[in-house]
Amino acid sequence: MNDPTPRSKKLAIAAALATLIAVPAEGLRQVAYRDPPGIWTACRGHTGPDVKQGVRYSLAQCDAWMDQDMKHAVMLVDRCVPNAPPNVLAAFSDAAYNLGPKIACDTKNSTAARLLRAGDWFGACKQLLRWDKASMAGVMVALPGLTKRRAAESELCLKDLP
């Protein structure tokens, strides 16, 4: 087997680092549940039409979804910010896994995305801390789990920056 290209290594490293944040943050719930904003979720934060109320998912299915979903998040962020250092890519990939790609890719509505696009890694990493809220009954509320997760992402993001 050939050695992976530098880009594929960077993507693999980012997925592994992001997964290290996501797994404890998401926990494991093998029976579908509604997350705080009311979205049907299963396993380690997997959402989508394949999540059905009352269904129990195997650990193998949960692991497969985690791997697939995180790789997808890494690819989305990498497309928006192809020059991001691995730790920045990893941190924003976990955030995108949790929140969707808006945080890293929507330069009209996300200061973090604008800073990423400009190559201001330090400024973008600091912006992660602002994304700790969810809509609860129409009101944006800081959730302790999100606050802790964004802090972990920000710490990883800032690590090894020049």
In CATH, what number is assigned to the domain containing residue 44? 1.10.530.40
- Domain assignment present for residue 146? The answer is yes
Q: What pLDDT does 134 receive? A: 85
- Which domain range does residue 104 map to? 6-158
Q: What is the mean pLDDT of residues 38-59?
A: 94
- Is residue 131 within 8 A of residue 100, CB to CB? The reply is no
Query: Taking all residues of the chain, what is their mean pLDDT, rounded to a whole number?
Result: 94
- How many domains in the chain? 1
Is 1 a domain residue?
A: no
Percent of the chain clearing pLDDT 70 (strictly above): 97
Task: Assess if residue 110 is contained within a domain.
Answer: yes
Tokens 């650990």 map to which residue?
Answer: 59
Q: Kindly indicate the confidence band of residue 145, based on its pLDDT and cuts at 50, 70 and 90.
A: very high
* Residue 128 pLDDT > 70: yes
- Average the pLDDT over 43-49 and give the result: 94
User: pTM higher than 0.75 for the full model?
Assistant: yes
How far out from the chain centre does Cα 27 lie?
A: 14
Mean pLDDT of 78-88: 96
- How many CB atoms are located within 10 Å of the residue 70 CB? 25
* Residue at 78 is within a domain: yes
Q: Which residues are catalytic?
A: 26, 35
**Structural domain contains residue 130:** yes
The C-alpha atoms of residue 132 and residue 55 are separated, in whole angstroms, by 29
Rounded mean pLDDT, 132-145: 90
pLDDT of residue 111: 98
pLDDT at 106 over 70: yes
- Report the pLDDT value the prediction gives residue 4, as an integer from 0 to 100: 53
